[in-house]
Amino acid sequence: MTFERFSEIFKSLMQTKIEISEFIDSIPKSISSAFFDNEAITLLYKENRLLSEELFGTKLYEDIDYFLYEGMDNHWYIERNGNEYPITDIKDMLEYFQKEYEWV
């Protein structure tokens, strides 16, 4: 996969995550829990994880998953291979991905 294609996919995943979060936040918690905190959603997440790990590899998938679900709203640093990457937005994260992973 080329880095350009990966960037498109990553941006799309990020936009989808934002839209899902905004939608869920617009619904009263008692209703959203019934629809989104259940076994079907858990299994869909597991299915997505299996496919994503196969597509991206475990290490890259874990970085993507962390950024989308834990780190997107925070400022943090990644230290890898003697390099330090301050992450404040998607541009920083893509720069990290481009430098630390091999692309075809």
Domain count, the chain: 1
Boundaries of domain holding 54: 3-100
**Contact in structure between 50 and 42 (CB atoms under 8 Å):** no
Assign 35 a pLDDT band (cuts: 50, 70, 90): confident
Instruction: Please state the rounded mean pLDDT for residues 75-102.
Output: 88
Mean pLDDT of the chain: 88
Model-level pTM? 0.79
Distances (CA, A) of 12 to 5, 16, 30, 87, 104: 11, 6, 29, 19, 20
Report DSSP letters for 71-86, one per residue: ITTS-EEEEETTEEEE
